[in-house]
């Protein structure tokens, strides 16, 4: 039996105070944390269930920005009429995550805080230049992701919302592993007021922007601009699902598909 204390606060300040305890972990959807504990890869002394915090599932728009509460579940984002109308690429991404069980439990805040190197949401957040809002500050996407399962979050800091500026057009394309359902490579392309941004997930040690694709698409926003580009396989992961060279090839293919979808 794995023993730990369980807390379900009803106020944000209470949750933050509880997380100051040693070996205490926040619990959102639990899609990664609970299996990790079950497999004895983590042994927290206490879990702080965030699901009782008010106002953190709200999806709303204001001043050209769509804001998602951190506890909005993937299925909520995929099914939101607002997101479908204003950020259709994000709605489609959310609807492609995992399987129905994962989509009805997993949350955007939990996904970002975990920062799995093959997670879908980080690609959208980085490509769209979103802002991650916490209980104490706002963090630009470019400053948030720090590598393999690492972010700019402090140990007791809680993501409360994510703000997405509206792009001119955007799309996401991925090739999903039939075993894990994670993308072998996922590429999110966004044409924003500040220029073209391209983010890639599944490559290796975490989500990253792809300067080669951004530069090519800034000159010509067309699938042909990136379909012929070949990225170096250095830095791409090799595992039982795909070799580095294959993932590097997939990057160009997925980027071209994303651009085609954005234009459509």
pLDDT score recorded for residue 13: 96
What is d(CA 71, CA 124) in angstroms, rounded to the nearest whole number?
17
Give the largest Cα separation in the chain, rounded: 59
Q: Has residue 69 been placed in a domain? A: no
Q: Has residue 68 been placed in a domain? A: no
What is d(CA 92, CA 100) in angstroms, rounded to the nearest whole number?
14
Cite the beta strand spans of the chain per DSSP E.
5-7, 24-27, 46-49, 59-62, 65-69, 131-134, 138-140, 145-147, 150-151, 159-165, 169-176, 183-192, 195-201, 208-209
Q: Which residues are 189's β-sheet partners?
A: 171, 198
Contact by Cβ (8 Å): 145, 126:
yes
Q: Has residue 101 been placed in a domain? A: no
Q: Has residue 71 been placed in a domain? A: no
Closest CA to 215 of 231, 226, 206: 226
Which CATH number belongs to the domain containing residue 44 in this structure?
A: 3.30.43.10
Q: Has residue 230 been placed in a domain? A: yes
What is d(CA 135, CA 133) in angstroms, rounded to the nearest whole number?
7
pLDDT score recorded for residue 142: 97
Q: Has residue 132 been placed in a domain? A: no
- Structural domain of residue 174, as residue ranges? 169-263
Q: Has residue 242 been placed in a domain? A: yes
pLDDT score recorded for residue 21: 86
Positions of the chain with pLDDT lower than 70, given as ranges: none
Contact by Cβ (8 Å): 166, 128:
no
Closest CA to 207 of 93, 92, 123: 123
pLDDT score recorded for residue 46: 96
pLDDT score recorded for residue 206: 94
Which CATH number belongs to the domain containing residue 190 in this structure?
A: 3.30.390.50
Q: Has residue 77 been placed in a domain? A: no
Q: Is 150 exposed, middle or buried (0-12, 13-18, 19+ CB in 10 A)?
A: exposed
Q: Count of domains in the chain?
A: 2
């Amino acid at each position: 039996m794995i023993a730990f204390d369980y807390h379900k606060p009803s106020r944000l300040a209470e949750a933050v105070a509880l997380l100051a305890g040693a070996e205490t972990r926040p619990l959102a959807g639990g899609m990664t944390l609970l299996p990790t504990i079950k497999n004895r890869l983590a042994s927290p002394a206490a879990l702080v269930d965030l699901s009782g915090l008010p106002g953190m599932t709200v999806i709303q728009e204001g001043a050209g920005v769509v804001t998602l509460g951190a506890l909005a579940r993937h299925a909520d984002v995929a099914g939101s009429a607002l997101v479908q109308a204003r950020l259709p690429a994000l709605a489609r991404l959310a609807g492609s995550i995992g399987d129905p069980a994962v989509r009805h439990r997993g949350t955007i805040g939990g996904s970002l805080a975990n920062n799995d190197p093959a997670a879908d949401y980080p690609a959208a957040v980085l490509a769209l230049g979103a802002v991650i809002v916490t209980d104490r500050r706002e963090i630009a996407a470019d400053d948030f992701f720090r590598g393999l399962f690492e972010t700019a979050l402090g140990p007791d800091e809680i993501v409360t919302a994510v703000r997405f500026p509206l792009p001119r057009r955007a799309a996401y394309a991925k090739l999903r592993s039939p075993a894990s359902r994670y993308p072998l490579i996922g590429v999110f392309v966004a044409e924003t007021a500040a220029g073209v941004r391209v983010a890639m997930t599944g490559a290796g040690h975490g989500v990253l922007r792809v300067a080669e694709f951004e530069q090519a698409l800034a000159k010509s926003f067309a699938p042909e601009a990136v379909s012929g580009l070949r990225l170096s396989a250095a830095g791409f992961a090799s595992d039982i699902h795909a070799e580095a060279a294959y993932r590097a090839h997939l990057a160009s293919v997925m980027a071209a598909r994303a651009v085609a979808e954005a234009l459509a």
